[in-house]
Amino acid sequence: MPVARAPYLLLILPPLFWASNWIVGRGFAVDIPPLAMTFLRWLFAVLILAPFAAPHLREDWPVVRQHWRAMLLFGVFGVGMNNAFTYVGLNYTTATNGVLLHSFLPVMIIAISWVVLKQRLSLPQVAGVILSLGGVLTILCRGNLGLLASFHLNIGDMFVIGSMLMWSVYTVGLRWHPVRIHLLTFLFVIACIGDLAVLPFFAAEFLWVRRPEFTLTNISALLFVSVFSSILAYIFWNRGVALVGANVAGLFVHLMPAFGVLLAWIFLGEKVAMFHVVSIGLVLSGIVLTTRFAPRVIAPSESLD
């Protein structure tokens, strides 16, 4: 089956690429401050996309202009500020808090879908969400649920929650993705908008807070996250959401900590314990249960304008 017609394969890959972003940030790109990471990551993505998107952009420009309000929202919240809030938040909170909060992202997407689109999950799908969430919590508490009692919110967590809200709105908003626009045009335009939205904050960070170190390792890390965590992840995610809907697609976010554990084991030498194996099994079981009762395709998008 062609990749473009395999929605669940498309939705498995973005969490893998986003989890690799954590590994790159933790093990390689440690000298790049949060707003620089956001701006440079998407600047590189724009430069890489430009030659591929240019032919489609010329043809699609009338559609872009017609739907400029929607494109503006997708770019500012889905690309620019969403990523900036995540990086800033993780600078002021623990990785565990960040992952714990992100484990509730599918629930947030489901809630917004229910309010905005009146989409509901069947009882087996709800059971799948709960099962998958249990797997994520097992990773976070290392098999000891009592550790969750020590969780508390801080200013970094507020940024992470803000990022989650923006990503949830972006994912649900893809329901109104303009139908007459090429996927490369869409990603290129929202990437440009998102990067411009972050530019003044990056400039302030660069001038008055901290500057990135442009070593070969850091540039290589930026190129990696630009290609995989930005371009390919967004293309696959956008297409996957269009095929199965936001409710089902959101559940695949639970794969991020599972992939993170495996990648940390492979590239950073971190140990894999039995609770990791159990949690990954719960996440996969929950996703299988949810997708087993999900429709394969949703109706075409409608315009916001």
Average pLDDT over residues 112-123: 76
Across 91-100, 140-149, 262-271, which has the greatest mean pLDDT?
262-271
* Core vs surface per residue 206-239: b (16+ CB within 10 A) or e: eeeeeebeeeeebbebbebbbbbbbbbbbbbbbb
Token pair for residue 54? Answer: 């240019």
Task: Give residue 191's pLDDT band: very low, low, confident or very high (50, 70, 90).
Answer: very high
3-state helix, strand, coil in the chain (%, to 5): 80, 0, 20
Quickly tell me which residue has 């395999």 as its tokens: 6
Give the domain ranges of the chain.
3-292
Question: Which tens digits make up the pLDDT trace of 29-60?
Answer: 568 888 999 999 999 999 999 999 999 999 99
CA angle 259, 184, 224 (to 5 degrees): 40
Residue 160 pLDDT: 83
Distance, CA of 231 to CA of 47 (rounded, Å): 11
Q: Whole-angstrom distance between the N-terminal and C-terminal Cα of the chain?
A: 35
> How far apart are alpha carbons 172 and 107 in whole angstroms?
12
pLDDT, residue 247, reads 80
Annotate 109-120 with DSSP letters as a single string: HHHHHHHHH---
CB atoms within 10 A of CB 159: 22
Q: What is the pLDDT of residue 91?
A: 77
3-class DSSP assignment, residue 151? coil
Q: Is the pLDDT of residue 128 over 80?
A: no
What tens digit of pLDDT does each residue of 17-27 get? 988 877 776 65
Mean pLDDT value across residues 191-215: 94
H or E element at residue 195:
helix 183-208
Q: pLDDT higher for 118 or 88?
A: 88
Q: Please, which pLDDT band fits residue 302 given cuts at 50, 70 and 90?
A: very low
Between CA 211 and CA 33 the distance in angstroms is 7
d(CA 275, CA 144): 9
pLDDT at residue 34, rounded to an integer: 86
Cβ(6)–Cβ(239) below 8 Å: no
Which of 69-78, 109-118, 154-163, 240-249 is predicted most confidently?
69-78
| Over residues 81-106, mean pLDDT | 76
| Residue 76 pLDDT | 95
**Strongest mean pLDDT among 149-153, 167-171, 189-193:** 189-193
Rounded to whole angstroms, the maximal C-alpha distance in the chain is 57
Q: To the nearest whole number, what is the mean pLDDT of the chain? A: 81
pLDDT of residue 153: 67
Q: Look at the pTM and tell me if it is higher than 0.85.
A: no
CA angle 115-103-96, nearest 5°? Answer: 145
pLDDT at position 184 over 90: yes
CA atoms of 296 and 242, how far apart (whole Å):
10
Tokens of 75: 């770019």
Using alpha carbons only, how large is the chain's radius of gyration in Å? Answer: 19
Span 120-128, average pLDDT: 73
pLDDT interval class at 292 (50, 70, 90): low
Query: Regarding predicted confidence, which is higher, 299 or 295?
Result: 295
276 vs 65: which has the higher pLDDT:
65
pLDDT at 299: 43
